[in-house]
Amino acid sequence: MRRGSSERLWLGLDLGGTAVKAGVVDDRGRVRGRSEVPTLASGGPRMVLDQMLGGAQEAVEAAGIRIGDCAGVGVGCPGPLDAARGIVHFAPNLPGWKGVPLARWISRETGLRTILENDANCAAWGEAWIGAGRRARSFVLYTLGTGVGGGIVLDGRLWRGEHGAGAELGHAPVVFTCGWKCACGLQGCLEAYAGTAALQSGLHRWAGGKPPEPREIFRQLRRGNPLARKSVDLAIATLASGVAGVVAVLDIDLVLVGGGIAGAGKALFGPLQRAVDRRVLPVPGRRVRVRPAALGTQAGIVGAAGWARHTFETSASSRTSTTGRAPSRTASWS
């Protein structure tokens, strides 16, 4: 809380394979200060922790406050994790991240209550709170970053699964025979075809040379490059298959897509909508809409801060700390 004010401020940290982001967010979801640096993933967990703490300091300075003025910290991290104990079990795109007690480390260094949650779940929470899903009772979010993350909101509640590992949509199998190997060790995962790293490695397989940045892939697509078309078409086809599977199980009609690749705009969303239309079972009155997520690059920090806000202040029955009881597998937002 800012001194002399009743306004509560929350620190959101978003750890990804490409960037470490931090932001100070108020009770209305407005970002008051933020920072972003490339993830030094090869340095291991301790180096990345230093990056997260440095980013947090930059964000609070940009907001004109001290870190102790924040009411709590929300941390979004990829991979299966134990939210109750604040431990990252495994992060496929972060070398050495196995059994990392991330929430405890951050709480110890900041002196603040800290909650850990899957990064895509945080992004979905942010979209449900103040983003493109705020008027929807149910929706699914795909985050297309270095890998592919997922978040599911059902009847206004964030679905976390029986063990806190629900909505790992990037690791749903979309190719069942001789599929490409995913960073998680499995074969045929959606992430192996539709994330940033997948687009880059796909072109590298077919064209050789240095893997291009996703922005360059879509630029080449617009210029008619056949290899760029092959790579993007494969990503869209596998993503549409994944979406169709989720729709068949959950009967949702809104699919949000965020992350860096979503910045491709019409080059992605037009073909993806048509591919989804071809794959979903026709149900009278249902039109599955594929839409861009609204919060852009701030989704992770807004969602992580919003999750901390909800956990520590809004829902007493769901409160937890770095060593406390985990939230229920579904948690409503407000």
Helix (H, G, I), strand (E, B) or coil at 281: coil
Tokens of residue 226, six digits: 């056949």
Say if 126 falls within a structural domain: no
- Same-domain status, 141 and 285: yes
304 and 286, same domain (yes or no) = no
Q: How many residues does the chain have?
A: 334
Q: Given this model, what pLDDT does residue 304 score?
A: 98
251-305 pLDDT, tens digit per residue, is 999 999 998 888 888 889 999 999 999 999 999 889 999 999 999 989 999 999 9
Are the C-beta atoms of 145 and 79 separated by less than 8 Å?
no
Q: What is the largest CA-CA distance in the chain?
A: 62
The token pair at 118 is 């899957």
* Residue 72 falls inside a structural domain: yes
Same structural domain, 141 and 205: yes
Residue 287: how many other CB atoms lie within 10 Å: 9
Whether 137 is in a domain gets the answer: yes
Residue entry with tokens 């008051």: 32
Q: Looking at the structure, do residues 172 and 258 belong to the same domain, yes or no? A: yes
Do 141 and 287 sit in the same domain of this protein?
yes
CB–CB of 330/164 below 8 Å? no
Q: Are 73 and 190 part of one and the same domain?
A: no
Give a yes or no: residue 156 inside a domain. yes
User: For residue 38, which of 260, 219, 253 has the smallest C-alpha distance?
Assistant: 260
123 part of a folded domain: no
pLDDT of residue 219: 83
Is residue 144 located within the same domain as residue 232? yes
What is the per-residue pLDDT for 198?
84
Q: Kindly state whether residues 136 and 273 are assigned to the same domain.
A: yes
Tell me, yes or no, whether 274 and 253 share the same domain. Answer: yes
Asked if the structure places residue 236 within a domain, the reply is yes
Distances (CA, A) of 105 to 132, 144, 230, 266, 291: 33, 28, 44, 42, 37
Rounded Cα–Cα distance for residues 1 and 68 (Å): 8
Give the pLDDT confidence score for residue 321 in this predicted structure.
43
pLDDT of res. 305: 98
Total tally of structural domains belonging to the chain: 2
- Tokens 């870190």, residue located: 67
Helix (H) or strand (E) holding 35, with range, is strand 31-38
Is residue 202 included in any domain, yes or no? yes
Judge if 163 and 261 occupy the same domain. yes
Q: Going by C-beta distance under 8 Å and a sequence separation of 6 or more, which residues neighbour residue 274? A: none
Q: CATH number of the domain that 322 lies in?
A: 3.30.420.40
If asked whether residues 143 and 239 sit together in one domain, one would say yes
At position 280, the amino acid (one-letter code) is: V
Residues 141 and 91 in one domain: no
pLDDT in tens for each of the 334 residues of the chain? 555 567 899 999 999 888 999 999 999 999 999 999 999 999 999 999 999 999 999 999 999 999 999 999 999 998 889 988 999 998 888 999 999 999 999 999 999 999 999 999 999 999 999 999 999 999 999 999 888 999 999 999 899 888 878 899 999 999 877 788 888 889 999 999 998 888 877 666 666 666 677 778 888 888 888 888 888 899 999 999 999 999 999 999 999 999 888 888 888 999 999 999 999 999 988 999 999 999 998 999 999 999 999 999 765 444 444 433 344 445 554 4
On whether residue 4 sits in a domain, the answer given is no
DSSP reduced 3-state for 145: coil
Phi, psi of 320 (to 5 degrees): -155, 170
Q: How far apart are CA 205 and CA 212, in angstroms?
A: 12
Q: Which domain holds residue 302?
A: 9-118+297-332
Give pTM, 2 decimals. 0.87
∠ CA 7-12-15 to the nearest 5 degrees? Answer: 175
Beta-bridge partner residues of 332: 157
Rounded distance between C-alpha atoms, residue 72 and residue 111, angstroms: 9
